[in-house]
Structure 1
Amino acid sequence: MKYTSKRTRSALVAAAALTVVLSACSSGSNGNGGEAPASPQQSAAAETPADGKIVSAPLTLTDFVQMSGNPAPGMKTFNDMAAYQETEKLTGIHIDFQHPTVGQEKNQFNLLMSSGEYPDIIEWGWNDYPGGGVGAMNAGVIIPLNDYIDKYAPNLSKLLADNPDIRKEISTDDGRIYAFPFLRSDPYLRTYQGIGIRKDWLDAVGLPVPSTIDEWHTVLQAFKDKDPNGNGKADEIPLLIAKDTLLNFSNVFLNAWGITGRFNLQDGKVVFGPTQPQYKQFLQTMHSWYEEGLIDRDYAGTDAKQKDAKWTSDVLGASELAVGGGIGKYTTAMTAKNPNFNLVGAPYPTLNKGDKPVLGQREPIFNGVGAAITKDNKHVVETVKWLDFKYGEQGHMLFNFGIEGKSYEMVDGYPKYTDEVMKNPDGLAFATAVGKYAVPFGGPFVQDKRYQEQNASLPQQKDALNTWMDVNNDDLLPPLTLTNEESARLAAIMTDVNTYRDEMFDKFVMGAEPLDNFDKFVKTIQGMGIQEALDIEQTAYDRYLKR
């Protein structure tokens, strides 16, 4: 197999200039600066076998990790994936994968945590654990990895040495590292959602892609009144809004007012968007659009399948979309049905023409997802070496692209996915087809920009990504890790607050609740303890700034 070290090193070095936010606060830390407590269960370092494998005798490790919701046909575990099969040949280590049932991942993770008996490795989004990775270490579930990484993980060690910003972001406030991280080291990988709009409809009504709230109003009115789908019926749905996506309803249009539907920063201080005066202005706009018939009357009850049907029935003009599962999905689905179908990404709107959009969708370089080693692991050194393999050249190529000659070919130094992936003869979608060979969507390795360049290969997708990335996100709040106590209290407050916020959003937009009652809405949220939640977020953010 051939691998390209130059491009891999370039992808890793590029991460040095980026900033990401992961704050972690230690509660009851052992204060050992990352040194793992001694345990007779931990294996001593062994000499590397002459054949280059990690172990000289067969070794099996257990790994709790989620599988994709749409695995390739015949794939029951990751052991059926070519990247893992090749990794086993190269390292000598077999993995007994424990995959939670799709749709039951969190419940089964919680059951695993409550059992007190753990597999060797747990790959998880540790921000969901009470107190984050710090909480899991302090609870004795997983172990600090600093010393092991320094001694037995040369690939990750070099990456962290070359990119101190990344080391800072994957470390806790007291310097501990709790997981081998999934890293998005290129900005191109960190934005993948935004607003999609029918460009062919815009052409039909003679309007450009809107960039301000006022322009959106003009466009939506034209979509409603001028029969842009040309069927002679008034069946167009100008806009579908949603509240239950990663973007949330707030980041699609509310960003124009400089706030989100959650916590964000203003002048360096944490605020809760729905209690700000600007939120009332946003609600007034949404209510007006709804009353004018510009927003889907059934937006609140529209699920994913119904959304698919509205797009592919040629009646929907705009909605929030992902670049792959939205623009790519619907463009491909409509190719034969309507060759004129042209779905493009629109910029996040502003209030004033010429202003730079703010507060779009952007993932951090490290979002807390990583592979942790549990306290029950009896082969820590070998596990560290196995995990570190993915950060080297061979592992990087395997897990981003799969097998050279099968799932990709090197073309002028560029790993180009084959037709087996891009034009699958069995009609498999890209994510499913590539999943037979690799798992570029996530895992303990550095994601490669060249994967996304091919995943989002349509001109409309490439343009959408560039458009959605052109946002000033300085006031996005970093993902913060809280102490166990803070996490429990914040969850208790925000569960009620978010439920009430969503209920009242629908009532305000649909007119069931007059906007004259907005002050009452704010006071109700204040009575639910939002100031305490703000104090918790501000304290965690202040800790992050002091790191």
Structure 2
Amino acid sequence: MTKTKKQRILQVSIALLIFTLIIAGCSGGGTNGGSTNKPNGTNESNKGNNDPQVSDDPVTEDVSYPDKVTYWVALGANAAATMKDYGEIKAYKKLEEVTGTTVEFQHPPTGQERDQFNLMIASGKLPDAIEYNWSGAPKGVDSLIKENRIIRLNELIEEHAPNLKKLLDDNPEFKKLVTTDEGNIYTVPFIRNHPSLQSVNGPVMRKDWLDYLNLSEPKTIAEWETVLTAFRDGDPNQNGEKDEIPYLFHIPDLDINHLFIGAYGITSGFYNDGGTIKYGPTQPEFKEFLTLMAKWYKEKLIDQDFATTDGKLRDAKVTGNQLGSLSAYPGSGIGRYTELAKETTPNFAMVGTVYPALEKGGYAMGQFSFPFTGEGTAITATAKDPEKILKWLDYKYSDEGHLLFNFGIEGESYVMEGDYPKFTDTILNNPEGLPITQAMAKYFISGWSGPIVQDYRYQEQYFQLEEQRNASARWQTANHEKLMPPVTLTIDESSKVSSIMNDVKTYRDEMMTRFIMNAEPIENFDKFVSTIESMGVQEAIAAQQAAYDRFQQRK
């Protein structure tokens, strides 16, 4: 046989072999009695295991869940009260059953979270995933990506996180918040997806004192002054002594919720005035605010020991039937104080009031958290299987994962009533006597944060008192248009702003206290402003302006 004839026979044989393989592939590679591998992971027997799924268009092999993940995260106080690590939370135990992934949690010592995070990032010895509030990351998150500490997630989300992808595609405002100025999505985010979850702090008053004095809840600063004066003079605690403290002023609260100062259209820090970034303490309105607080202090409408009153003293003043008003949260404030005081003061009642304006219907700024403020889980550059880790994290955004990490285990911590997940007595009346917050922490993480969409229905049930729910609703009516969004500073900006504002804030706090306590005459306000200007605050304002402008250009 000639060489040419042999070549023709060989070519025909190869062609027949290829044709046979194509026919076999089209038939599914099996008989009616055999198993088949369905495209797009539709083989029901593969659901929830670690076997690769088959997908098509393009023909690529889907990733499985990881066998193990090392996970760094601060240990929340409510979890720490009953457990050593998050692996004991029942939602995470169930997640391991579903995915087959075991988690080695790494918790920094309480109180040392920030220092331990910075040391870990600097060393380069990283776990697979880090859960943190990345707004406080040194140098900014874009630099951490460039320095191979964490990875960009954009493309991985498109390919391996269908639930998170849908959330971001359906909510472009969320996507804008989780994307950096350089276009990087760097974290699997914690999202507050309801107004009631975004306004959770505000002015609180003793409702029983108002009722005793036949007073209405104040809505303006003038009405507040009337109420505080009555608290001072009217013996609302009915002990025959003039020992009432009308209002507890607290600088950290001011920075959170802008109470009273917000009525003047400014904050105690940076704010957005129609696209122009300003620093509140250098504005003329800040002098008006200080003048009001100094007047109230002189008239003993403000706690005379406000500068030295810590959390324990505040608690004692509230539960000791002395304090008439303060800034507080619905849970740790209204709910906790009502429970603590009921034995000694049976008629004890608190009410959350609206944020006061200068005049009825006027401007009143209040506390507000944007849906995303930097909290979430990043995947590190040293993680071996980032696509598998992302798939594992993405489960929390599925319907099943959402219920699991917001409400726990069906039949144990909640039951479905129609389409509403209702907590059982395991949470609301814990048989071990645990407070609701600690009972929740044994089952799920929605009580603090994590890579999830927080469900407002958890909070509806956590706020068991009508007064708590009403407070949240009233605080939501405040104006938030001037509040700064979570902007991202560059490395140079971050370094400059930190250096300047650490000194400015220290000076601001010291002088604010002195002005309010009348140790510094208000006539020296211009000197106060000049000193802040000399400390370089305009450079910090310029950096914040540049960051805000970049934020506005995000897509």
Task: Report if TM-score (shorter chain) is over 0.5.
Answer: yes
Give the TM-score of the pair, scaled to structure 1.
0.89
Counterpart of 1:335 in structure 2 is 342
Matching of residue 313 in structure 1 with residue 320 in structure 2? yes
Counterpart of 2:267 in structure 1 is 260
Alpha-carbon distance in structure 2 between the residues aligned to 1:175 and 1:540 = 14
Q: Is the 8 A contact 1:390 1:444 kept in 2?
A: yes
Counterpart of 1:433 in structure 2 is 439
Shift of 1:524: 0.1
Alpha-carbon distance in structure 1 between the residues aligned to 2:404 and 2:210 = 43
Alpha-carbon distance in structure 1 between the residues aligned to 2:427 and 2:342 = 19
Alpha-carbon distance in structure 1 between the residues aligned to 2:191 and 2:197 = 10
Alpha-carbon distance in structure 2 between the residues aligned to 1:107 and 1:408 = 38
In terms of mean alpha carbon deviation, does 381-390 or 347-356 score higher?
347-356
Counterpart of 2:395 in structure 1 is 389
Counterpart of 2:382 in structure 1 is 376
RMSD over equivalenced CA pairs, Å: 1.7
Q: Is the 8 A contact 2:257 2:367 kept in 1?
A: no
C-alpha distance 231-408 of structure 1, shift in aligned 2 (>3 A):
same
Secondary structure of the structure 1 residue equivalent to 2:498: helix
Shift of 1:340: 1.2
C-alpha distance 58-486 of structure 1, shift in aligned 2 (>3 A):
closer
In terms of mean alpha carbon deviation, does 160-169 or 519-528 score higher?
160-169
Counterpart of 2:113 in structure 1 is 105
Alpha-carbon distance in structure 2 between the residues aligned to 1:111 and 1:351 = 47
CA distances 1:414-465 after superposition (whole Å, capped 9, x unpaired): 1111111111233322111111110112110100010111112211011100
The amino acid across from 1:466 in the alignment is A
CA distances 1:476-518 after superposition (whole Å, capped 9, x unpaired): 1111111111000000000000000000011001111111100
C-alpha distance 58-491 of structure 1, shift in aligned 2 (>3 A):
closer
Give the TM-score of the pair, scaled to structure 2.
0.88
Q: Is the 8 A contact 1:52 1:91 kept in 2?
A: no
CA distances 1:198-239 after superposition (whole Å, capped 9, x unpaired): 111111112111111111111111100110011111111101
1:419 is aligned, of 425, 437, 441, to 425
The amino acid across from 1:511 in the alignment is N
Alpha-carbon distance in structure 2 between the residues aligned to 1:280 and 1:54 = 64
Counterpart of 1:209 in structure 2 is 217
* Structure of larger gyration radius: 2
Map residues 2-401 of structure 1 onto 2, 5 A cutoff: 50-53=45-48, 55-56=50-51, 59-71=67-79, 74-245=82-253, 247-248=254-255, 251-357=258-364, 359-401=365-407
Give me the identity figure in percent: 47
Secondary structure of the structure 2 residue equivalent to 1:244: helix
The amino acid across from 1:327 in the alignment is I
Alpha-carbon distance in structure 1 between the residues aligned to 2:48 and 2:417 = 29
In terms of mean alpha carbon deviation, does 170-179 or 298-307 score higher?
170-179
Stretches of structure 2 that go unaligned for 5 or more consecutive residues are 1-39, 52-64
Stretches of structure 1 that go unaligned for 5 or more consecutive residues are 1-45
Alpha-carbon distance in structure 1 between the residues aligned to 2:225 and 2:183 = 50
CA distances 1:80-111 after superposition (whole Å, capped 9, x unpaired): 11000000000011110001111111111111
Map residues 467-478 of structure 1 onto 2, 5 A cutoff: 467-478=474-485
Alpha-carbon distance in structure 2 between the residues aligned to 1:540 and 1:353 = 35
In terms of mean alpha carbon deviation, does 64-73 or 395-404 score higher?
64-73
Alpha-carbon distance in structure 2 between the residues aligned to 1:94 and 1:545 = 41
Shift of 1:266: 1.7
Secondary structure of the structure 1 residue equivalent to 2:79: coil
Alpha-carbon distance in structure 2 between the residues aligned to 1:237 and 1:255 = 23
Q: Is the 8 A contact 2:427 2:436 kept in 1?
A: yes
CA distances 1:219-268 after superposition (whole Å, capped 9, x unpaired): 111100110011111111101011124x5277111111111100012232
Shift of 1:183: 0.6
Q: Is the 8 A contact 1:155 1:392 kept in 2?
A: yes
Shift of 1:74: 4.3
Counterpart of 2:15 in structure 1 is none
Alpha-carbon distance in structure 1 between the residues aligned to 2:49 and 2:373 = 29
C-alpha distance 513-148 of structure 1, shift in aligned 2 (>3 A):
same
Alpha-carbon distance in structure 2 between the residues aligned to 1:419 and 1:465 = 24
CA distances 1:33-69 after superposition (whole Å, capped 9, x unpaired): xxxxxxxxxxxxx989944235249711100011211
The amino acid across from 2:243 in the alignment is D
**Relative contact order, CA 8 A, sep 6+: which one is greater?**
1
Alpha-carbon distance in structure 1 between the residues aligned to 2:319 and 2:250 = 18
- Count the aligned residue pairs: 500
Q: Is the 8 A contact 1:54 1:382 kept in 2?
A: no
The amino acid across from 2:373 in the alignment is N
In terms of mean alpha carbon deviation, does 382-391 or 162-171 score higher?
162-171
Secondary structure of the structure 2 residue equivalent to 1:63: strand
Alpha-carbon distance in structure 2 between the residues aligned to 1:488 and 1:289 = 38
2:517 is aligned, of 507, 510, 513, to 510
In terms of mean alpha carbon deviation, does 398-407 or 71-80 score higher?
71-80
Alpha-carbon distance in structure 2 between the residues aligned to 1:480 and 1:225 = 46
The amino acid across from 1:209 in the alignment is E
Shift of 1:291: 0.6
The amino acid across from 1:367 in the alignment is T
